[in-house]
A and B are shown apart, each in its own frame.
Chain A
Amino acid sequence: MVPVEKQKNMLLFLLLGLLTVGLFTASVFTGSVHIPVSEIARILAGGEPLRPEWKTIVLDLRLPRALTALLAGMALSVSGLQMQTVFRNPLAGPFVLGITSGASLGVALVVLGYSWIFTAGHSLPGNWVLIAAAWLGSGAVLFVIMLVSVRVRDIMTILILGIMFGSAATALVSVMQYFSEEAMLKSYIIWTMGSLGNVSRTQMQLFLPAIAAGVTISLMSAKVLNALLLGESYARSLGVNISVTRFTVFISTSILAGTVTAFCGPIGFIGIAVPHIARMITKNANHRVLIPATILTGGVLMLISDIISRLPGHESNLPINSVTALIGIPVVIWIIIKNQKFSKMV
């Protein structure tokens, strides 16, 4: 790598880092209840605010939410990048393996009236049942994909099977929806719209390490992903074990995407769009640069989406899924039109 390029990348990372910090701060300072800036600063510094509930609002609501947005954006983006490289397909995203569909099936069982399957009459604390169900669902899909990928060499076959399993899970969910009550249906539909505000501080103790583990695995896979860019046979000639690589990438993707889906619902678009944005701004295909750039851009984009979805200064808010799509789509269209060689970038 030439030093000039290295310097440029350092500058880029610095900018993205500053942007992340700025947006994170903005996210903590805005909300539906007006709290003076000085009071928020006092709370963050460990002091007691004028009204005691402000402390809960800032520390238990806004901070976990901003952190969730940051981590979810990072996780979805980097798993999207991995999938695009492994499947050599610019349209691949974190959910091509059917992970969301598996998670949705688990959640549908809970929400649409079969929660006893998971609780068996025990009083499991609220959210955990949902999280466990979503994880088990995506884990089950991953398990089947793994079994198949041991025997099947061709990556396209795996892609198609992933889509098939996903569709099968979706079909089962449809049957359950058809036979369920309106109110339950609404609950389920709202889950599918995604939400960043439901991760509590207790849940963060599981969410944060899971995402950190997934991101670490993907950072370590930069070298093999670079080799895969040149084709599987070339990668093999460089001594890359394709099966092990796939295995690692699938595991990190399902930890990342599965965890985000379990805690926040299926959040679309970020995973497909951000890797392209990252390629665009780094003008680089090297995963050592691309992975950190994708992670940072993902966090930034999700923080922006979260701030927009809360409509600061307004009574109501918007589903996060709609916001990620509505702000992501123009970006991708702009990139496609500006850079007609879109499909060759992967």
Chain B
Amino acid sequence: MKISILYILTFLIISAVSCSNRDPSGRLLGDREECGHARHARGFCIEDHPGYRKVSVFNPWQGAGNRVFRYYLVDRDDPVPPGIDKNRVIRTPVESIICLSTTHVALIDQLGKTGTITAVSNPQLINNPELKKRYESGYLTDIGYEHNLDYEKILSLHPDIVMVYGVGGEASGYVERLEELGISVVLNGEYLEPTPLAQAEWVKFVAAFFGLDELAEEKFIETEKNYHELALLASSVEEKPVVMAGLPWRNSWFVPGGRSFFATLVSDAGGDYIWKNNPSRENFPIDMEIMFEAGDRADIWLNTGSAVSTNEIINVDNRLSSMPPYLNGNIYNNIARVNRHGGNDYWEKGITEPHVILKDLVHILHPSLLPGHELVYYKKLDVR
């Protein structure tokens, strides 16, 4: 019994110590208030101060509660102003960067700064042509993956920053570990944004580290404009095809939630997603019976996961052949740009050009609106 009390005490002590680090502003990811430079994204904020810029990242992982990470960007040639956390100072523009996610690569590439990337996690999954070439010729280091990072290699590359994403938060203690080794770590929470435009807007966050704010703004305005135009076009159509999604596995069917990235895309493309009323932002499991009942009114079936042909759908479960989209041959998957190691450009470059993804979906849902459009990220499943 004594030992349990000891555990609790230890925990309480640690909690008490950490209270001092509490963020006074208490801004939440859900806040509607607009914050420096971001119109759609809620996960970051850039504020200009004399002599430095403050970049904040809010709750960069699911279930983070109420956490804020701050970075102070100071120009390489300027002195560090007094009163800011010295451990969080990042000298800009950064000249060498290590990325842990393919989405970071795409955001950096959009700014034309691919040359600053010295190492990545899982390089074989990358579709970026320049990095692919560099990896094949041995000029791009593989530094392992989040829980199994090769700290020795990271140290010898002397990166200005390591850009990471916060899956599992505390679990990924590698953030703390890297900081202990004197490496500046920047958490990027773009993958948690619920809308495609909000995700794409993280280019502004990345641009702050390169001092390329204007370029980012320019790029994003273009994306935003194209996206809105397509959404407007799609909204002009009265009849909305019913969309189902996902692929079952062993009697459970994981589908994107009604407030997910996917649900937003379908709705903006003029589709009627069958789980649009679900309140979840994440994927959730539903029973096969429910799916068979709901899927009976579906016109189009999207994002069939690992299945790349209708035959593979039958192999998963032959009862799926009774689904209307199967019978009508209306099944599409986002697999047009997958490299031979399984790295999907949809999750790389795709996040920087949501208008291109939307264009694919508008074309799939309303073929008459965009005659002559050729699918970029999506592919119709062959009958094999």
Please report which residues of chain B, range 9-49, place their CB below 8 angstroms from some CB of chain A when the two chains form the complex: 10-11, 14-15, 18-19, 21-23
Q: A51-B156, A124-B14 are in contact. Are A187 and B173 (CB under 8 A)?
A: no
A212: Cβ under 8 A from any B Cβ: no
CA distance A291 to B61 in the complex (A): 44
Q: Return the chain B residue nearest A202 by Cβ.
A: B180
Render B174-197 as a binary contact track against A, CB cut-off 8 A, 1 for contact.
111100111000000000000000
A-B contact count (CB 8 A): 174
A280 to chain B, nearest CB (A): 33
Q: A129-B170, A130-B171 are in contact. Are A33 and B7 (CB under 8 A)?
A: no
Residues of B within 8 Å of A190, CB to CB, are 145-148
Residues of A within 8 Å of B171, CB to CB, are 107, 110-111, 115, 130, 187-188, 191
Q: Return the chain B residue nearest A181 by Cβ.
A: B282
Segment of B62-70, B199-207, B238-246 in the binding face? B62-70
A259 to chain B, nearest CB (A): 11
Asked if A127 and B3 make an inter-chain contact with CB atoms under 8 angstroms apart, the answer reads: no
Q: A113-B63, A187-B146 are in contact. Are A125 and B18 (CB under 8 A)?
A: yes
Tell me what chain A mostly uses at the interface: helix, strand, loop, or mixed.
helix
Q: A31-B152, A187-B146, A191-B147 are in contact. Are A130 and B173 (CB under 8 A)?
A: yes
Q: Return the chain A residue nearest B26 by Cβ.
A: A121
Please report which residues of chain B, range 133-155, place their CB below 8 angstroms from some CB of chain A when the two chains form the complex: 142, 144-148, 150-153, 155
Interface size on B, residues (CB 8 A): 56
Render B217-239 as a binary contact track against A, CB cut-off 8 A, 1 for contact.
00000000000000000000000
Residues of A within 8 Å of B51, CB to CB, are none
Residues of B within 8 Å of A127, CB to CB, are 170, 173, 176-177
A235 to chain B, nearest CB (A): 24
Asked if B168 and A251 make an inter-chain contact with CB atoms under 8 angstroms apart, the answer reads: no
Asked if B1 and A53 make an inter-chain contact with CB atoms under 8 angstroms apart, the answer reads: no
A126: Cβ under 8 A from any B Cβ: yes
Residues of A within 8 Å of B182, CB to CB, are 56
CA distance A135 to B61 in the complex (A): 23
B368: Cβ under 8 A from any A Cβ: no
Asked if B168 and A136 make an inter-chain contact with CB atoms under 8 angstroms apart, the answer reads: no
Render B157-173 as a binary contact track against A, CB cut-off 8 A, 1 for contact.
01000000001111111
Q: A121-B67, A126-B173, A179-B284 are in contact. Are A61 and B152 (CB under 8 A)?
A: yes
Residues of A within 8 Å of B14, CB to CB, are 124, 128, 132
A237: Cβ under 8 A from any B Cβ: no
Asked if A140 and B4 make an inter-chain contact with CB atoms under 8 angstroms apart, the answer reads: yes
Residues of A within 8 Å of B152, CB to CB, are 31-33, 57, 61
A183, A186, A201, A254 pick with most chain B CB within 10 angstroms: A183
Q: Return the chain A residue nearest B11 by Cβ.
A: A132
B285: Cβ under 8 A from any A Cβ: yes
CA distance A147 to B142 in the complex (A): 50
Contacting residue for B180 out of A111, A116, A200, CB 8 A: A200
B283: Cβ under 8 A from any A Cβ: yes
Residues of A within 8 Å of B173, CB to CB, are 126-127, 130, 198
Asked if A132 and B10 make an inter-chain contact with CB atoms under 8 angstroms apart, the answer reads: yes
Please report which residues of chain A, range 29-50, place their CB below 8 angstroms from some CB of chain B when the two chains form the complex: 31-33
A54 to chain B, nearest CB (A): 8
CA distance A46 to B43 in the complex (A): 45
CA distance A298 to B169 in the complex (A): 32
Please report which residues of chain A, range 170-193, place their CB below 8 angstroms from some CB of chain B when the two chains form the complex: 178-179, 181-184, 186-188, 190-191
A342: Cβ under 8 A from any B Cβ: no
Q: Can you list 9 A-B contacts (CB < 8 A)? A: A61-B181, A111-B170, A124-B14, A136-B11, A178-B285, A181-B283, A183-B168, A188-B171, A195-B148
Residues of B within 8 A of A (CB): 1-4, 6-8, 10-11, 14-15, 18-19, 21-23, 61-68, 142, 144-148, 150-153, 155-156, 158, 167-177, 180-182, 252, 282-285
Known: A115-B169, A116-B66, A187-B146; 11 extra A-B contacts, CB below 8 A, are A56-B182, A112-B63, A118-B11, A119-B67, A121-B66, A126-B176, A136-B8, A139-B3, A143-B3, A198-B147, A317-B150
